[in-house]
Amino acid sequence: MFDEGPARHWVADVIRREGKMPGVLQFIFCDDEYLLSINKKYLQHDEYTDIITFDYSEEYPQGVSGDIFISYTRVRDNARLYDVTDLEETYRVMVHGVLHLLGYDDGDDEARELMQAKENYYLSLIP
């Protein structure tokens, strides 16, 4: 079961450990089709994805801010694929989005490895 309270504190801790302050942050859980429509409209990608992050930190300079859209359909399917629980995969995708807001990228192998190492580290801190 997903408990919003500990997740909220954990996300804030991740941001602080990266030397930033949490700002206005929303996690929006949706289905594949909704996230696909966002992917097409805003990123011109016609493919399913588990997450899309919109960074609003420039608009809210008081801290790391953004909308993180997560497909619960992809989360569920990826959890089965990687043999983890839905909750573990949910946290992985959440921290992935937060890391994007913190400036990390996964566009090439080296950047992807660093981002995955960060994900694994922060997942180890879940209360």
Residue 87 belongs to domain with CATH number: 3.40.390.30
Q: What's the mean per-residue pLDDT of the chain?
A: 94
Residue 56, domain extent: 4-123
Residue segments in the chain with a per-residue pLDDT below the cut of 50: none
DSSP type of residue 50? S
Q: Give the pLDDT score at 62.
A: 80
Q: Give the pLDDT score at 3.
A: 79
CA distances 18 to 41, 64, 75, 82, 94, Å, are: 31, 11, 25, 27, 15
Q: Give the pLDDT score at 127.
A: 79
Q: How many separate domains does the chain show?
A: 1
Rounded to two decimals, the pTM is 0.93
